[in-house]
Amino acid sequence: MTHPGLPDIWVYIIVSFMLILSLAVILRFNFSDFKLIKKSSVTLAKLWLIGAAIQYLTKSRWPLFILKLITVAFFLLVIYAGLMGTPVPERNIATVLTWNIWWAGLIISIFFLGSAWCAICPWDALATWHVKPRLWFNNWRLNNSLELTPPRWMRSVWPALIMFAGLTWLELGYGVTTSPYATALLSLVMVVLAIISLALYKNKAFCHYICPVGRTIGFYSQLAPVELRPLNKQICVDCKTLECFSGSETVDACPTKLVMGRLTQNTYCTSCGNCVQSCPSDNVAWRLRAPSQEAIESARPHWDEAWFMLVMLALTSFHGVTMMEFWEQGLRSFAQKIGDSGQLLVSFSSGLILSVLVPVAIYALVIELTRRLSKSQLSYKKIFSSLVFATLPLAFAYHLAHNLNHMIRESVGASQLLLNPLGTNVSYSGVADELFIKNSMLLSENTIFSLQALLMMFGFWVAIKVLQHRSKVLFADSKTVVTMMPVLLFVFAVNSFHLWMLMQPMVMRIGALCVVPSIL
């Protein structure tokens, strides 16, 4: 079963929008100075009606603890159902909950809540409860960690990037998404890695350097409309105790060792709220801000982070390619030529590597051309790392549009799995299931198409703003738009490719979810 592609009318609208914006850039209209929200930020705790609730949620320990219990309960259910339930993926809650609901919904949640998922992550919760358990009613804490300093090679996002590529291979090549048993084993591996990392190293090295989900959330949350920041920066400047960094007698230290007074980006913030609770001046709070403001202006370019964003763009596109109808046929044709058999892992791995190398190589050439056109004395790495932020909204917009389709269409009937999570005594009714899915979606098909189109236009618009602002900062002496043209063409080409993929019929991730009880 496949999902229908984006209708032609929306394609014409999106392409026209992209052409108009590109022409405006060539005519020197500066989109980077245009903001939807003029005020820099709004403190959520001061908003009418919801302010008191936000204040309670951020100041009290119990709401977060209860949410962790809920996510851990679902996580343990995934493991149990995956190991003990039916091997049919669309009938087992392990695969449905993990790949159709959690992974799809996680990316969508970033658009509204930033890195909030990291605060209730079951991997980290189980690791903490095993290694550093705490009884909050008397502040008793047991620390079983060796508190070693992570080795130098680990203190970057390279480990997370390798993990991200590895998980993509397992998901799409080995077929973890279609195996409840493999999904359960992968879940166990991730929590074991989190426990071992916390038992060996100080702070939370797994969250900071290793976790591919956390790093994906961290980079995407640079585009989110929420942030955890100081209310008065001068109070942070005058602070001598830095409870936000080191914690207090009753509140743990920042798990990724961030100092609130110097925090400018969401990338490594896990939204745990420790700084909100530990600050003696009540100077830390959640704020609303202009979406994408951080990626445009505040985020600092680093070499390893630039590579993560670029490869994330490539792998996000690769996910879409593997769900096109032509992919499997092309893969099998290539496998026959090279003598690959079985699960076609060699052929798939070749396709995965090629799908990463091609966009990376094109971007590398684009940056070299940009450097030559600018006649700048800046290093290649500086230009590469700074302008790569223009790819972030492109990856995020397509990731959202792609996952929105999966979540809305493929989660129909998933609630029935809560009554039968192991998927026992159920049967597939073919056409009846497909008709039920089509007529029971939470959003209509036209609404899905509209949201996808708006996301694609929003992503391109933000990419243009990022490109203009960062080009202006990098090439202050440049008087011509010619310098930006190579990256502008790259951005246009990437978004056009994503748009083309959305136009194609897309294969379902694991099949229909409507659970039909067996009469037998």
- Decide if 9 is inside a domain: yes
- Residue 305 counted as domain residue: no
Determine which helix (DSSP H) or strand (DSSP E) holds 236, and give its type and residue range: helix 233-238
236 and 206 belong to one structural domain: no
- Structure confidence at residue 493 as a pLDDT band (50, 70, 90): very high
Question: What pLDDT was estimated at residue 35?
Answer: 55
Would you state the pLDDT for residue 514? 45
pLDDT above 90 (res 39): no
- Residue 286: phi and psi, rounded to 5, are -80, 140
Sheet strands (E) in 166-248? 226-230
Model confidence band, residue 110 (pLDDT cutoffs 50, 70, 90):
very high
Spatial distance between the Cα atoms of 205 and 306, rounded to a whole number of angstroms = 20
DSSP classification of residue 7: P
| Confidence check: pLDDT of 61 > 70 | yes
Identify the CATH number of the domain in which residue 250 sits: 3.30.70
What are the φ and ψ backbone dihedral angles of 491, each rounded to 5 degrees? -60, -45
Q: Which domain holds residue 516?
A: 1-35+310-520
Write out pLDDT tens, residues 196-241: 999 999 889 999 999 999 999 999 999 999 999 998 889 998 998 9
Domain count along the chain: 3
In angstroms, the CA 367 to CA 409 distance is 39
Q: Is residue 441 pLDDT above 70, yes or no? A: no
DSSP 81-137: HHHHS-S-GGG-HHHIIIIIIIHHHHHHHHHHHTTHHHHT-HHHHHHHHHHS-EETT
**Taking a C-beta distance cutoff of 8 angstroms, is the pair 320, 498 a contact?**
yes
Average pLDDT, integer, range 466-495: 87
Tell me how far apart the alpha carbons of residues 466 and 473 are, in angstroms, rounded to a whole number.
Answer: 11
Supply angle C-alpha 74, 78, 79, rounded to 5: 120
Give the mean pLDDT of 411-439: 64
Check whether residue 195 and residue 231 sit in a common domain. no
Instruction: Tell me the pLDDT band of 485, cut-offs 50, 70 and 90.
Output: very high
Residue 179 confidence class, pLDDT cut points 50, 70, 90: very high
Answer yes or no: is pLDDT of 499 > 80: yes
Across the range 291-312, mean pLDDT stands at 90
249 and 274 both lie in a single domain: yes
333 in any annotated domain? yes
Q: Which pLDDT value is given to residue 363?
A: 97
Distance CA 510, CA 99 (A): 8
pLDDT band for 326, please (50, 70, 90 cuts).
confident
Residue 49, domain member (yes or no): no
CA dihedral 387, 404, 406, 167 (to 10 degrees): 30
Q: Which amino acid is at 255?
A: P
Residues 176 and 248 in one domain: no
Q: Give CA–CA dist 330/335, Å, rounded.
A: 9
pLDDT at residue 2 in the model: 73
Q: State the Cα angle at 146 between 141 and 148, rounded to 5°.
A: 125
* Same-domain status, 248 and 380: no
517 domain residue, yes or no? yes
Q: Among candidates 201, 92, 123, 94, which has minimal Cα distance to 425? A: 92
Report the candidate in 520, 491, 402 with the shortest Cα–Cα distance to residue 99: 402
Q: How confident is the model over 22-50, as a mean pLDDT?
A: 74
Least confident of 44-48, 254-258, 294-298: 44-48
Of 235, 236, 224, 238, which Cα lies nearest the Cα of 263?
A: 236
Q: Residue 479 has what pLDDT?
A: 61
Domain boundary among 174, 203, 221: 221
CA atoms within 13 A on the CB side of 512: 19
Q: Name the more confident of 513 and 278.
A: 278
DSSP letter assigned to residue 273: -
Torsion of CA 62, 66, 69, 73, to 10 degrees: 170
The answer on 395 and 260 residing in a single domain is no
Instruction: Work out the average pLDDT over 304-324.
Output: 94
Token pair listed for 271: 């939204």
Q: Structure tokens of 382?
A: 């500086």
* Predicted local distance difference test score (pLDDT) of residue 34: 58
Please give the biggest Cα pair distance in the chain. 77
Candidate from 250-259, 336-345, 389-398 with smallest mean pLDDT: 336-345
Q: How far apart (Å, rounded) are the C-alpha atoms in residues 57 and 37?
A: 26
Q: What percent of the chain has pLDDT over 90?
A: 52
Per-residue pLDDT at 517: 41
Region 136-157: mean pLDDT is: 83
| pLDDT at site 340 | 81
Which is higher by pLDDT, 4 or 413? Answer: 4
pLDDT confidence band for 394 (50 / 70 / 90): very high
Is 302 within a domain? no
Q: What is the mean pLDDT of residues 290-296?
A: 86
Pairwise CA distance, residues 396 & 363, whole Å: 18
Residues 6+ apart with CB under 8 A from 430: none
> Which of 118-132, 317-331, 424-438 is modeled with the greatest confidence?
118-132
Q: What is the pLDDT of residue 14?
A: 96
Q: Which residue has the higher pLDDT, 204 or 432?
A: 204
pLDDT over threshold 50, residue 518: no
Which of 300, 473, 489 minimizes the C-alpha distance to 376? 473
At 383 the pLDDT is 94
Tell me which residue of 488, 515, 454 sits closest to 6, measured CA to CA.
454
DSSP 87: S
Q: Judge whether residue 141 has pLDDT over 90.
A: no
Confidence of residue 45 (pLDDT cuts 50, 70, 90): confident
pLDDT score, position 436: 53
Say if residue 410's pLDDT is above 80. Answer: no
Q: Are residues 359 and 464 in the same domain?
A: yes
Distances (CA, A) of 253 to 244, 273, 401: 7, 10, 37
pLDDT band at 426 (very low <50, low <70, confident <90, very high): low
On the CB side of 257, CA atoms within 13 Å amount to: 8
Model confidence at 100, pLDDT cuts 50, 70, 90, reads confident
- Of 31-35, 287-291, 384-388, the one with minimum mean pLDDT is 31-35
294 within some domain: no
pTM above 0.75, yes or no: yes
Q: Which run of H or E residues covers position 287?
A: strand 284-289
Residue 483 placed within a domain = yes
Q: Does residue 238 share a domain with residue 214? A: no
Taking the C-alpha atoms of residue 21 and residue 24, their distance in angstroms, rounded to an integer, is 5
Per-residue pLDDT, 515: 43
Residue 281 has pLDDT above 50, yes or no: yes
Q: Are 331 and 357 in the same domain?
A: yes
Does residue 22 register a pLDDT over 60?
Answer: yes
Q: Are residues 25 and 159 in the same domain?
A: no
Confidence of residue 427 (pLDDT cuts 50, 70, 90): low
Q: Are residues 230 and 217 in the same domain?
A: no
Residues 6 or more apart whose Cβ sits within 8 Å of residue 342 = none
Instruction: Give the pLDDT of residue 516.
Output: 42
Are 355 and 267 contained in the same domain?
no
How would residue 345 be classed by pLDDT, with cut points 50, 70 and 90? confident
Find the mean pLDDT for residues 347-362. 94
